[in-house]
Amino acid sequence: AVLDSPRYFRLLVRLEHFAEAPPRRRPPQAAAQERLAIAGRRALERVSAKVLKLGRRLDASDEVPAPKDLHRLRIHAKRLRYLLEFLRQLTGKPGRRFVKRLVRLQDLLGAHQDAIVATDFVRRYAETIDPTSTPQVSRAVDALLDHEARLAEQARAAFHRSWQSFTQKRTLADLREIQQRLRKQRDGRPAKGKNR
């Protein structure tokens, strides 16, 4: 409904006019980067803190993480990745390295969530099977259910190793470097070095 609204259409028209406008009508590059760095740094601090806090809590537990907790971590990690990809011109090489490591963690969390969703889907489907149907159908559904449940369990069991890999010293140093680069942009000083 929102995408069909007049308000959304007006936004698209304004964005098109902005994109086609001559450079003199656009805000100066430095001022735009400064505003982007300020907002980006605040968002990065908030989102990365959520990812690290939740991940550390799950990793500190001796138990295998619950599916809902891994899903919540996946959502926060996805937000962090999208934010960093949006800010990639300002974060340079440390940002690219951080995203690369974040993708590995997201892949595990995504595989877990896919298996959970598939298991739920197959379970609901199994409830609709006619009890008088052939035994092959029931065996096939049971085999698929076992397979998806095993995939989810393997992903949950691999979480601790994956989290440790993600939070290695280099990753956390890259996060600090990203924040420093955004702080320098905020102060009107472009980030120095060949890693831009």
Rg (C-alpha) for the chain, rounded Å, is 23
As given in the structure block, the two tokens for residue 187 are 């102060």
| pLDDT for the residue numbered 147 | 95
111 vs 25, residue with greater confidence: 111
Give dist(CA 40, CA 159) in Å, integer: 28
Task: Look at residue 31 and tell me whether its pLDDT is greater than 90.
Answer: no
> Does 191 have pLDDT greater than 60?
no
Instruction: Examine the pLDDT at 35 and tell me if it is beyond 90.
Output: no
CA atoms within 13 A on the CB side of 62: 0
What average pLDDT does this structure show over 66-83?
96
Name the pTM for this structure: 0.75
Per-residue model confidence (pLDDT) at position 194: 46
Q: How confident is the model at residue 49 (pLDDT cuts 50, 70, 90)?
A: very high
pLDDT in tens, 88-140: 989 999 999 999 999 999 999 999 999 999 999 999 988 888 877 788 888 89
Of 153, 157, 123, 159, which is closest to residue 141 (Cα–Cα)? 123
The beta-carbon contacts of 171-176 under 8 Å, at least 24 apart in sequence, are 171/97, 171/98, 171/101, 173/94, 174/94, 174/95, 174/97, 174/98, 174/101, 175/48, 175/94, 175/98
Class of residue 55 by CB neighbours under 10 A (exposed 0-12, middle 13-18, buried 19+): buried
pLDDT at 52 over 50: yes
The rounded distance, in Å, linking the Cα atoms of 132 and 161 is 45
Which of 86, 83, 80 is CA-nearest to residue 102?
Answer: 80
Q: Report pLDDT digits (tens) over 54-69.
A: 999 999 988 888 999 9
Task: Name the percent of the chain lying above pLDDT 90.
Answer: 62
Measure the CA–CA gap between 41 and 48, rounded to whole angstroms. 10
> Poorest-confidence range of 11-15, 83-87, 99-103, 177-181?
11-15
Q: Please give the pLDDT value at position 129.
A: 83
